[in-house]
Structure 1
Amino acid sequence: MATYDSFGATYAHTRRPDPRIAAQIHAALGDVTDVINVGAGAGSYEPARTTLAVEPSQVMIAQRPPGLAPAVQAVAERLPLRDGAADAVMALLTVHHWSDLAAGISELRRVARSRVVILTWDQRVFRERFWLLSDYLPEAAAFEDTRAAPTDRLADLLGGARQEPVLIPHDCVDGFAAAYWRRPHAYLDPGVRAGISLLTQADEDTVAPGLARLANDLETGTWHAQHGELLTLDTIDVGYRLIIADN
């Protein structure tokens, strides 16, 4: 499978933190004194209280802007940190990339003194509600089935957790998979797709026919006839979830 060293070079530009999602993440962290960000990428959503970022890809670490917390190159399954190293640990849109989910969650719990916050998605909801997968890229949806972490399993591994829906605003500035749900033309832009691991890790020959159908449906008005009601919505729930566990 491709890694962020091969496709993550544009993330600092395409994956900027959305302030509304940031506010929800920071509220979930609560009144903690320090935070460790695991699977930190280029540093999106890190609160000022972040003391360390952990990220396996040097390409991603190199994109971290000046002034953020220091970063160490390591994987979630083997965190180079002592027990109880920080009040809270967060892991945002990363667990689907881990080679051993149980080991990674165990490490988060070991390092966090009081709270673990994970941003992920419920694959069942994602497949049903996100038109790009259901109508145009069912093969990519099948790929997501192989790597998405069921939210109930995450809660079990955390020893119990609450789940909060994360509504995606229509003008979301963080270009993850469903960010452009009301801007369908964006998915035809190679620069946009370069920031979406769902599309960069799926085989190009697999996604090309679906994208061609999307382009045709946008040109003929078919997409608007089928999904025009989305244009009246400001936010949508397509399955993104915050998993919040007190340790």
Structure 2
Amino acid sequence: MAIYEQIGKSYDLTRRADPEIAARLAVHLQVKSDASYLDVGCGTGNYTLALAKSGGIWHGVDQSKKMIDAATNKSNIVAWQVAEAEALPYADKTFSGVLCTLAIHHFVALTPAFQEIYRVLAAGRFVLFTATPEQMSKYWLFEYFPEAIHKSAEQMPSLEKVRYALKEAGFNSVNIEPYSISENLQDLFLYSGKYRPEIYLDENIRSGISTFALLASPEEIAAGCQRLATDINTGCITDIVNKYENNHGDYLFVIAEKINHELA
């Protein structure tokens, strides 16, 4: 089931490519103007289109037809297709780089998806942007929406599992770069309101975040928002945010390398 069929309609009201994240992705991918790139789990194409401005010939796939329809309506400079990560509709060694942002938790299984990505990658990098359960346990959102955050964290593969699956798929090296939320983050995904707690009181913003749209009960949202609003008004939220501070980043860039042994 393409779970984003449910939230695809309002998704682009609150979700857009953050320039800082897009710039880091372009650096990690080592984007070249004459090379071909693939965005797996591209959603409505926000990061695909942002990266396409850096150069390269871009393709985007997502399991949700609604998401791909939205992407197609935005631009035809990217070749969009509905496809599963485990069955990519491309020939071996088609791409110089592959991107996947905040989507691996929707893969049926990591290793088959990573094997497919390895297959369609000629030589170059597979760059992931994701969060680990360990990181998510340090989100202050847990204070207000514990069940939803717990369910969301359970969906996320651990860094150990990601590393193992990448190795199983054949990737030669894996590097990690932690990412910490900035105060002016423009893509309103789950922990984007780390320093702007008031955004979680906005139903439109919550509807673009799968944790709230798909995993949280209406009762938990109502009770959590009521407590959060009170803590914002009294200033207690500052202590809560500080209590959950951590030095290991809120998300991660994972950079996996495929070396073409024919050229090595």
1:106 positional shift: 1.3
**In the alignment, is the contact (CA less than 8 A) between 2:132 and 2:153 conserved in 1?**
no
Q: Which residue number in structure 2 is paired with residue 213 of structure 1?
A: 227
1:239 aligns with 2:250: yes
Letter in 2 for 1:142: H
Q: Which residue number in structure 1 is paired with residue 92 of structure 2?
A: 83
Counterpart among 144, 158, 168 of residue 136 in structure 1:
144
1:71 aligns with 2:80: yes
Counterpart among 130, 148, 154 of residue 156 in structure 2:
148
Q: CA RMSD in A?
A: 2.1
- Within a 5 Å distance, the mapping from 1:33-52 to structure 2 comes to 33-46=35-48, 47-48=51-52, 49-52=56-59
SS in 2 for 1:76: coil
SS in 2 for 1:168: coil
- Within a 5 Å distance, the mapping from 1:108-187 to structure 2 comes to 108-114=117-123, 115-128=125-138, 130-133=139-142, 135-159=143-167, 160-187=173-200
**In the alignment, is the contact (CA less than 8 A) between 1:91 and 1:117 conserved in 2?**
yes
1:5 aligns with 2:9: no
CA distance in 2, matches of 1:43, 1:31: 17
CA distance in 2, matches of 1:176, 1:117: 18
1:13–1:68 CA distance, 2 compared to 1 (3 A): farther
What does the per-residue CA deviation read over 1:86-116, in whole Å, with 9 as the maximum and x for residues that have no partner?
A: 1111111100111222211111111111221
CA distance in 1, matches of 2:195, 2:177: 22
**In the alignment, is the contact (CA less than 8 A) between 2:111 and 2:166 conserved in 1?**
no
1:80 positional shift: 1.2
Note the residue ranges of structure 1 that are not aligned, 5 or more in a row.
none
1:2 positional shift: 7.3
1:220 positional shift: 2.5
SS in 2 for 1:78: coil
* Percentage of identical aligned residues: 30
1:165–1:225 CA distance, 2 compared to 1 (3 A): closer
Counterpart among 114, 119, 137 of residue 105 in structure 1:
114
SS in 2 for 1:182: coil
CA distance in 2, matches of 1:229, 1:204: 26
1:40–1:50 CA distance, 2 compared to 1 (3 A): farther
CA distance in 2, matches of 1:164, 1:116: 14
CA distance in 2, matches of 1:71, 1:63: 10
1:227 positional shift: 3.4
1:191–1:178 CA distance, 2 compared to 1 (3 A): same
1:50 positional shift: 4.1
For normalisation by structure 1, the TM-score amounts to: 0.90
**In the alignment, is the contact (CA less than 8 A) between 1:42 and 1:60 conserved in 2?**
yes
CA distance in 2, matches of 1:68, 1:43: 11
What does the per-residue CA deviation read over 1:127-159, in whole Å, with 9 as the maximum and x for residues that have no partner?
A: 12x2112x1111112102321011222122212
Kindly tell me the number of residue pairs found equivalent between the two proteins: 241
Note the residue ranges of structure 2 that are not aligned, 5 or more in a row.
168-172, 259-264
For normalisation by structure 2, the TM-score amounts to: 0.84
1:4 positional shift: 0.7
CA distance in 1, matches of 2:160, 2:232: 37
